[in-house]
Structure 1
Amino acid sequence: SAIRFVSSHEVGHTFGLKHNMGASHAFPVDSLRSPSFTAKMGGTASSIMDYARFNYVAQPGDGVKEITPKIGTYDKFAINWAYRWLDTETPQEELPILNEWIQEHEGDLMYWYGEQQDPKDPIDPRSQDEDLGDDIVKANRYGIMNLKRIVPNIVAWTEEDGESFAEAGKLLMAVINQWKMYAGHVTANVGGIYINNPVKGSPEDRYIPVPKEIQKESVKYLIEEVFIVPEWLFGAEVWKKSYPIQMGVEYSPYTVARELQYATFYNLLKDERLLRMFDSEATLGRAKSYTPEEMFADIHNVIFASSKAGRNLSIYERMTQKNFVDAIIVSSNRAVEKTTKKALHHSNTCCFASKVPEFTIEPREEVQLRTLHFSSMGRVSEAVSVKRGELLKILKLAENKRNMGNVETRNHYEDLIIRIKEALNMR
């Protein structure tokens, strides 16, 4: 089935079809758990031109058998639209007929096209590589449930008498990369914008910010599945037999957790995303927008809960707080470098990039029809204010708690105080 998917996808390109990364959004998440729906509709998306390689939503006992993509509704329509012979005298005579065919399916997601975006910063969360369903938070929670079933069985499923545990390490790395990919999918909802392509006479709007409730739920997912380091993954028994392996390199649990969590923090807090959130507030008003201030508060209230309660901090709690603070500092570097003489500074300019190799998909021949620009004059944007405000809030907390807890916790607070004061040129 994998060979059939890849070959059909590539044949689609030879017929002139571009990637349709919005095709998977056409299927309701719970329908991906239905044997009858997936058998009828063809697997995971309305188009073979999406990257929707396998059904990670379906659960044991669902009975779903069609778990890979097939040629779908969109593909058949697109080929018919492009190649159907019409007995007309001139090409111009075809246009009203072709436009009528399109109008017949206006508003039907099965025929919707979502162009490929930069996978490092997709603006429209509906058009992403490797995602599934019309609710990415719900879909990826199902995906997490399946990863939780895989991890305890990794050793047994890869075990061969007399062989090393290298295969177990490779499978563990695959699970970790899937877990991180889910986080990236969900992050795209925050500061996301649904980008439509209306024409004259069409009722839809071009730009629709992702609803506040969806953005807030997405941050909740990131808190629960990434910012609170998952014990089911990083505390699993398989680590005793093998660290995750990729390209012959083995990575320790603390290192992997620290770097991949940091990458998620940095991706979430980068100025481009915050500026889209502020743009939404300027357009819709504060009440209808999920503001950066609300997002920072939602994160702060969880990752500093033990500090506020005066408890000793675990190594992962200390790690998470440091990652959060450092991501704010580093992501602020370029935005404020001209506002003060010394500037907000840090020893590394791009230390957010994970050193863990992973399979990524770069854009191919597709080029966006328009480039959306949100990030000019970042140094005088509200993104600077909200980040400095959060650093000052954390500084005050650390100074109040600096003499509380065990030696590791006290050292951690002193470290936060020094980091923040240096970053804000307060020393």
Structure 2
Amino acid sequence: MKTVFYTLLCSLILLPCTCVSAQNTATKKTPTIEAKIAGMDKKDGYFDFYWDDDAGKIYLEIDRFDEEFLYVNSLAAGLGSNDIGLDRNQLGNTRVVYFDRVGPQVMLRQRNLGYRAISDNPDEVASVRDAFAQSTLAGFKVAAKTGDRVLVDLTPMLLTDAHGVISRLKRNKQGSYKIDASRSAVYLPKTKNFPKNSEFEASITFAGEATGRQLRSVTPTSGAFTLRMHHSFVELPDDNYTPRAFDPRSGYNARSYADYATPIDQPLVKRFIPRHRLEKKDPSAAMSEPVEPIIYYLDRGAPEPVKSALLEGARWWNQAYEAAGYKNAFQVEVLPEGADPMDVRYNVINWVHRSTRGWSYGSSVTDPRTGEIIKGHVLLGSLRVRQDFLLAQGLIKAYGKDGTTPDPRLEEMALARLRQLSAHEVGHTIGLAHNFAASTNNRASVMDYPHPYITLKDGEVDFSQAYAVGIGEWDKQTIKYGYSDFPEGADEAAELQKILAENQAKGLRYISDSDARPQGSSQPDAHLWDNGESPIVEMNRLLALRKHALDNFSEANIPVGMPLSELESVFVPVYLMHRYQVEAVAKMIGGYHYDYGVRGEQVSPRVRPVSIEEQKAATQALLMTLSPSTLGFNGKLSGLIPPPAMGYSRNRELFSTQNGGGFDPLAMAQSAADNTFTFLLHPHRLARIAEQAALGPLGGYPSLEDYLETIRIEVNRNVRKNTTNRFPLELAMMVDKRFVAHLIQLAANKDISERVRSVAFSKLRQMLGPLSNANNLTPIEVHDHYLSVTINQFLTDPRSVEISPAPKLPDGSPIGCGGFH
């Protein structure tokens, strides 16, 4: 009875409390914006937002739903490692987004602009929109509302890894990290508001365990490091911009989308070029001021004399805009004091520091709908200027006068390269692609990768033509194509075709990345880091300059007081001076001349093989780089350069060694020889040699068997003719071993042409010599015995032979002989 009584009593007591709680929940209302923001710091602008200092939060006021705008994320403060690729002021993604409210939730959704229907039929537009996935980038809970306006807490979005740092580190095997919210916060100094853009920044701490040397080398404590993420909400441009059609001959990058409303007899994919909006005040005038000029701003952190060189190089582009009929349309100034380089209102040239030298970049914030460039954004690596200084340092007695003051020509050449680099990267931000054929056209474009054109005059090194000055003829034509403002009534398509016809009439060649970069490329007119119309002539010239520099290399190449071991870092670029020209010459072998022609042009044939005579000359030029006379050098150098001094160490700028860490002439010669074989015997090149022989008449182009035999004869001749001098003999035998190693790799490669594999097998069988059982063999007999054993073992059981790689070359691009990508 007591149990029943107490249960009833508790029920009566608790019931009213439960009812009151439910009533309070039902009557609880979302606060008004005015009540929520009381005491907060308001920032008026594109999207009004409020700073809650007590909570450390940013509240965003949203009064425009379903209205598109640009969302751009970027990295304001970086990691400082070129290898990892997380640089200060690095742009991230550009997206067209909009806010969508669903009850108490607000979604930030991204349009899928890769697939569209440009149509007046809303149902057709909707059918395409609904056929492809959209993305929802963030979701928010309404924190306050007044009428149609809502307030959301933006802070969680700002404190995410918007730039993909965690995945980048994992991909580069640098470690496993997570965001530590307790050590992350809004970064107020760079959180600002403007009429057409709202800028937010956050300081993000990543905690975890480093597994890679690169990360550890640039962080004070690798277990926790802090970067800054920047977020921009930007008003989209108005509808008064007209996209310009892309043409593969124009020299521009392409933007594209699939238009499913296109008639069936027209291409589905629409292509247009990226470019800034530029209009003449008077389109009918041959020369007119622009309605609004394009202005770029240089990073205030760039020191002199670098700053002046960068300004001068970037300003060269005004020459091209003048050629297109504009007066003072392209301007470059120093960034105003207090201005934020991440602010989308500024086109910026950033001076970026890294722990190692590396690539520079020209990117942009571009309206994905039209290709209109809203912000040009250049990143220039600060250490590259030192590499040009180093390239020049090895060519002359750089510190020959007093031992401490460098020859002024070193800095002059380095600054000349900076002017060219500034112009090159700005060129990308105004829409232009690389033109790697410009070096064969009398340096017709700054959009090529230039190797310094250093000459010998009367036995003296001349730097006066190292880098070209000013915008090239090709660059002027590309700006005409992209930026000409044609008079009212003009047929734009016809006018653009006239410009392309002018290019052809002027003999301006254009070949870009996809045809110039591959090791096995067939295009002999396009290469990176080369000079001259004839790769063979340039190779011979470079080898002569290289020999002069090696013969005169001495202590005077470094300043007094520097450890002599540091001579090796100056020596490397000299020894590998011909490195990139090797690749340029190789492209002539099995090569084809072609361009990006279209139907209707009166050019025939469009594709033609490099002549037999040129291919034979190219082969001989590359075989010269395998000779002991090229791979060797003055013997005094090996006695001049000691192993790294105390406090110094071997690094990626130096050759890999096989002697325990000292200066290793045989290992570096092996690296250089292997580089030549990589291009001489590239599987794609060999397949084209066989192809050209098959397509031509008998007795025409040499067969693949003949080509490999030419190489074998020359390599073997070098062994047989150097029996009295041991160093050249060692070099020749090393080259012979690498030739066999490459043939074995070809014969074992199941992913290449069977024709190439079969000929490689045949050549190995032909080279198989008798096995010797004699004692007291000569060095050449020992060499022959080793090759015979290796070949016989491979032919008997291909899987039993593992080819040792040659010592790795110092990393190559972006410039010189040791760089990092």
TM class, shorter-length: 0.7 to 0.9
Change (3 A) 1:10 1:134: same
| CA shift digits 1:33-84 (9 cap, x unpaired) | xxxxxxxxxxxx110101114214x322497733203311010111112111
CA displacement at 1:192 relative to structure 2: 1.6
Give the letter for the 1:82 counterpart.
G
Question: Which position in structure 2 is the counterpart of 1:254?
Answer: 666
User: Does the 8 Å CA contact 1:402/1:410 hold for their aligned counterparts?
Assistant: no
Structure 2 distance, partners of 1:178, 1:309, is: 27
Q: CA RMSD in A?
A: 2.9
Say if 2:496 is the partner of 1:98.
yes
- Could you tell me whether the CA contact under 8 Å between 1:119 and 1:129 is conserved in 2? no
Report deviation, 1:186.
1.5
Q: Equivalent of 1:392, from 760, 765, 768? A: 765
Q: Does 1:54 align with 2:452?
A: yes
**What residue identity is the alignment partner of 1:281?**
A
1:99, distance to aligned residue in structure 2 (A): 0.6
Letter in 1 for 2:509: W
Aligned runs of 1:288-303 on 2, under 5 Å? 288-303=700-715
CA contact 2:582–2:622 (8 Å) conserved in 1: yes
What residue in structure 2 maps to residue 163 of structure 1?
Answer: 562
Instruction: Report the CA distance between 1:14 and its aligned residue.
Output: 1.4
Output the CA distance in 2 between the equivalents of 1:174 and 1:309.
29
The one-letter amino acid of 1:389's match is S
Return the alpha-carbon distance in structure 1 between the equivalents of residues 607 and 774 of structure 2: 50
Distance 2:600 2:630 in 1: 53
| CA distance in structure 2 between the aligned counterparts of 1:161 and 1:112, rounded to whole angstroms | 47
Aligned-pair CA distance for 1:404: 11
Q: CA deviation at 1:214?
A: 1.2
| Corresponding position: 1:152 with 2:551 | yes
Partner of residue 434, structure 2 = 19
Partner residue of 1:205 out of 590, 605, 608: 605
AA in 1 matched with 2:779: E
CA contact (8 A) 2:435 2:510 kept: yes
Counterparts of 1:216-227 in structure 2 under 5 Å?
Answer: 216-225=616-625, 227=626
Give, as a single letter, the amino acid of the residue that structure 1 aligns with 2:492: E
* Maintained 8 Å contact 1:191/1:276: yes
Q: Is the 8 A contact 1:8 1:48 kept in 2?
A: yes
How many residue pairs match? The answer is 361
Aligned partner of residue 335 in structure 1, secondary structure: coil
Distance 1:263 1:89 in 2: 57
Distance 1:182 1:265, change over 3 A: same
Counterpart of 1:139 (choices 499, 518, 538) is: 538
Query: Structure 1's 85 and 301: CA in aligned 2 closer, same or farther, altered over 3 A?
Result: same
What CA deviation, in whole Å up to 9, does each residue of 1:228-257 have, x standing for no partner?
123574444223222796537564111111
Task: Identify which of 487, 509, 527 aligns with 1:112.
Answer: 509
Which amino acid counterpart does residue 393 of structure 1 have in structure 2? Q
**1:420 match:** 791
- Aligned equivalent of 2:682: 270
TM (norm. structure 2) is: 0.41
Which secondary structure state, in structure 2, belongs to the residue aligned with residue 59 of structure 1?
strand
Distance 1:49 1:174 in 2: 23
Give 1:16-415 correspondences, 5 Å limit: 16-27=431-442, 45-56=443-454, 58-61=455-458, 65-69=464-468, 70-89=470-489, 93-109=491-507, 111-116=508-513, 117-202=516-601, 203-225=603-625, 227-230=626-629, 233-242=632-641, 246-247=651-652, 249=654, 251=657, 252-305=664-717, 314-335=729-750, 378-379=753-754, 381=755, 383-395=756-768, 398-399=769-770, 406-415=777-786
Match for 2:510: what amino acid?
Y
Out of 417, 421, 444, the position equivalent to 1:2 is 417
Alpha-carbon distance, 1:222 to partner: 1.5
Q: Residue by residue, what CA displacement relative to the aligned partner does 1:72-127 show, whole Å, maximum 9, x if unpaired?
A: 1010111112111102458xx21112112222342533x22111232433321211
Residues 243 and 253, structure 1, Cα contact 8 Å, conserved in 2: no
Distance 2:502 2:589 in 1: 33
Distance between the aligned counterparts of 2:604 and 2:423, measured in 1? 33
Distance in structure 2 (CA, Å) of the matches to 1:102 and 1:15: 19
Distance 2:747 2:642 in 1: 34
Amino acid corresponding to residue 449 of structure 2 in structure 1: Y
Q: Find the residue that maps to 2:608 and give its secondary structure.
A: strand
- The amino acid that maps onto 2:688 is R
Q: Quick one: which amino acid aligns to residue 174 of structure 1?
A: P
What is the distance in 2 between the residues matched to 1:137 and 1:224? 11
Instruction: Tell me if structure 1 keeps the 8 A contact 2:590–2:610.
Output: yes
* Counterpart secondary structure, 1:230: helix
The Cα shift of 1:328 comes to: 0.2
Q: Is the 8 A contact 1:148 1:232 kept in 2?
A: no
Question: What is the one-letter code of the residue matched to 2:452?
Answer: F
Gaps of 5+ in 1: 28-44, 337-374
Alpha-carbon offset, residue 386 of structure 1? 2.0
Query: Percent identity among equivalent residues?
Result: 21
- CA deviation vs aligned residue, 1:193-238 (integer Å, no higher than 9, x gap): 222222223223332211111111111112122x212357444422
Please tell me whether the aligned partners of residues 438 and 510 of structure 2 are also in contact (alpha carbons under 8 angstroms): yes
8 A Cα contact 2:719 2:733, kept in partner: no
SS at 1:82's partner residue?
helix
Higher helix share: 1
Distance 1:151 1:278, change over 3 A: same
Structure showing the higher strand proportion among its residues: 2
Q: 2-side partners of 1:292 and 1:201: how far apart?
A: 36
SS in 2 for 1:201: coil
Structure ID, larger Rg: 2
User: Mind listing any 5+ residue stretches in structure 2 that lack a counterpart?
Assistant: 1-415, 644-649, 658-663, 799-821
Relative contact order, higher structure (CA 8 A, sep 6+): 1
Counterparts in 2 of 1:15 and 1:298: CA distance versus 1, 3 Å: same
**In 1: Cα distance, 2:712 partner to 2:457 partner:** 36
Seen in structure 2, the aligned counterparts of structure 1 residues 188 and 401 have a Cα distance that, compared at 3 Å, is farther
